[in-house]
Amino acid sequence: MRDGDAGAERPSRASAQRLALGIDPGTAIMGYGLVALDGDQLNLLDYGVITTPSHLPLANRLQLLYSGIGEIIERAKPTELAVEELFFNRNVRTALAVGQARGVAILAAANRGLPVSEYTPLQVKQAVVGYGRARKEQIQQMVRVLLNLQDVPEPDDAADALALAICHLHSSRAAHLIDERTT
């Protein structure tokens, strides 16, 4: 089940140079956020979550996630996807489930020809807040500020996905500028 549509004003596709789809993976709730970079301006396009019923077998939940991400990609036409890198978790069962959800997101992007970039939580915090030990609330407030929103995006999974998209657009833009200077 897809829940989203931020209701934000959408820039025209002709003016948006890049559109990143950020994914915060999870099997019960997968956050997504679409952010466009037009020149130096970040523009929010959409955010929300894809949820799966807990009573379904894992295979069916992964199938729902794959379909939901596919629908978002087909509708929004992002130019790239950013996903959180799996980090070691004390709960192995949770880590495996998150890994499977990541795989579904990466496969959905790959099957549609989207380049995929992966970022650690530390990289996201540094790119969005400028501090690697930033708290979740600090990240959410910076997402609100950077996207010029009145309120922090909810739920947390969607805010995290927006942070991933912002991290990617900032990080890849910096790398692109360095490449241009050295060539």
CATH number for the domain harbouring residue 85: 3.30.420.10
pLDDT recorded at residue 4: 55
Summarize the confidence of residues 51-74 as an average pLDDT: 97
Establish whether 24 is a catalytic residue.
Answer: yes
User: How many structural domains is the chain composed of?
Assistant: 1
Looking at residue 175, its pLDDT comes to 52
Query: Residue 12 belongs to what domain range?
Result: 2-182
157 carries an active-site annotation? yes
CA–centroid distance for 144 within its chain: 15
Catalytic residue, chosen from 74, 84, 137, 151, is 84
The per-residue pLDDT for range 85-143, each reduced to its tens digit, is 877 667 777 788 889 999 999 999 999 999 999 999 999 999 999 988 899 999 999 99
pLDDT, one tens digit per residue, over 32-55 is: 999 999 988 999 999 999 999 999
Question: Given 3, 24, 71, 156, which residue is catalytic?
Answer: 24
- Summarised one tens digit per residue, pLDDT across range 146-155 is 999 999 999 9
Is the model's pLDDT at 8 over the cut of 50? no
Q: What pLDDT shows up at residue 94? A: 79
Give the whole-angstrom CA distance, residue 75 versus residue 72: 5
Give me the residue label for tokens 């496969």.
107
Whether the bond between 155 and the residue before it is cis, its omega within 30 degrees of 0, is yes
Is 160 an annotated catalytic residue?
no
Give burial (CB, 10 Å; 0-12/13-18/19+) of 2: middle
Residue in 46, 80, 157, 160 annotated catalytic: 157
The angle subtended at Cα 6 by Cα 42 and Cα 111, nearest 5°, is 75
